[in-house]
Amino acid sequence: MPTLLQNIKKMLTVLFILLLSFFMICFINIQAVLAADPTETSTSTFTNTPAPCIMKVKG
C-alpha cells in the first residue's frame, strides 16, 4: 500500500509541474501579444496564440 501512495504522489507532482509550465507558457504568450504593437499584429495572431491556452484552462 505505501508504494501505491508514493506512486500517486509522484504522479501528482509531475502533473503539477506540467500544469505550472503550461501556465507559464500561456502567460508568456499573452504578455508577448499584449506587448506587441496593435497595428502590426493582426487579429489572427492574437486569436491563435492565447486562445488555445484559455480554452484548455476553461475546458
Please give the pLDDT value at position 30.
80
Grid cell of 35 as nine digits = 506587448
The tens digit of pLDDT for each residue in 27-44 reads: 888 877 777 655 554 454
Model confidence at 1, pLDDT cuts 50, 70, 90, reads: low
Find, among 29, 38, 31, the residue nearest to 56 by Cα. Answer: 29
Cα(52)–Cα(59) distance, rounded to whole angstroms? Answer: 10
Q: What is the average per-residue pLDDT within 15-35? A: 86
Please give the pLDDT value at position 40.
53
Q: What is the mean pLDDT of the chain?
A: 73
Grid cell of 50 as nine digits = 492565447
Number of domains in the chain: 1
Q: Which long-range contacts (CB under 8 A, 24 or more apart) does 16-22 make?
A: 22/53, 22/56
Report the helix count and the strand count for the chain, using DSSP H and E. Answer: 3, 0
